[in-house]
Amino acid sequence: MIISDYHIHSSFSGDSVEDLDRICRKAKELGIKEIAITDHMDLDVIGTTNSNDFMLNLDEYVPTILKLKDQYKDDLDIKLGMEFGIQRHLGEVGDKIIEKYPFDFIISSVHSVDKLLLDQKEFWENKTREQAHDKYFLEILKSVENFNRFSVQGHLDFITRYGGIDKKGFIDYIRYQDIIDEILKKIISKGKGIEINTSGIRYNENRFYPCDDIIKRYFKLGGEILTIGSDSHKASDLGKDFKKAYDFLESIGVKYISSFDQLDVSFKKIK
């Protein structure tokens, strides 16, 4: 049984054309009881022709999701969420935006460094893989320090998806263990969490974001708040590879995942 999927994109995201009703029908078909719609808002990104695609129109989006919540309330607990593309200088901006709306759940995700998206060649120019990864993890740390109104940090090490054939697909966990520890400790101290993002399996990396070592370390450091999300951009990917996530959590002794309402966290038993 799939308990919940806390990372779902619809046609409100610039990289999805999926219909919200189709998402809800698919969730019901799969027996999922709780979903978070988390469409993209990425601000202050330069050097890309499609940056406007990620300027989420909240005055249209929020009423639409609230109407959907009411429409499906007897069968499906729909959470009003957002994936906020955080950069270190946007913490206060993000906080002010989020406090204006009745959000249940916010994913904080670093998609950009120095205002450049990670999939832009300009970000990778004149950098080794290690230099790019150094900048990425430092950006996460500074962003976590400066941002308050979020629930979980999204796909913490997904930079491995990018950089071309000679730079993608590998994180040197030992090299980055110290700064990853700093990030995790800061997340925990702020009462926030992380997600297991199962899309890494679909993107042919055969792993979760973040990797198993980071998830284990998070719990060893005292972390408790955890959501699982498919990062689906089409309804057919809802709940994909969640059994693998549940089995992994069971193998490391984790028995609960998190649920959110009005940004308040509660916990649900996995089995």
pLDDT in tens, the chain (271 residues): 899 999 999 999 999 999 999 999 999 999 999 999 999 999 999 865 454 567 899 999 999 999 999 999 999 999 999 999 999 999 999 999 999 999 999 999 999 999 999 999 999 999 998 999 999 999 999 999 999 999 999 999 999 999 766 656 678 889 999 999 999 999 999 999 999 999 999 988 999 999 999 999 999 999 999 999 999 999 999 999 999 999 999 999 999 999 999 999 999 999 8
Residue 78 half-sphere exposure, CB side, CA atoms within 13 Å? Answer: 27
The residues that bridge with 38 in the sheet, in sequence order, are 81
Q: What is the CATH number of domain 4-269?
A: 3.20.20.140
Q: Name which of 1, 60, 26 is nearest 232 in CA terms.
A: 26
Structure tokens at 120: 């832009």
pLDDT reported for residue 54: 76
Every domain of the chain and the residues it spans: 4-269
pLDDT reported for residue 165: 60
Q: What are phi and psi of 7, to 5 degrees?
A: -155, 95
In three state form, how does the secondary structure of 130-186 look?
HHHHHHHHHHHHHHHHHCCCCCEECCCCHHHHCCCCCCCCCCCHHHHHHHHHHHHHH
- Please tell me the pTM assigned to this model: 0.96
CB–CB of 212/248 below 8 Å? Answer: yes
pLDDT reported for residue 47: 62
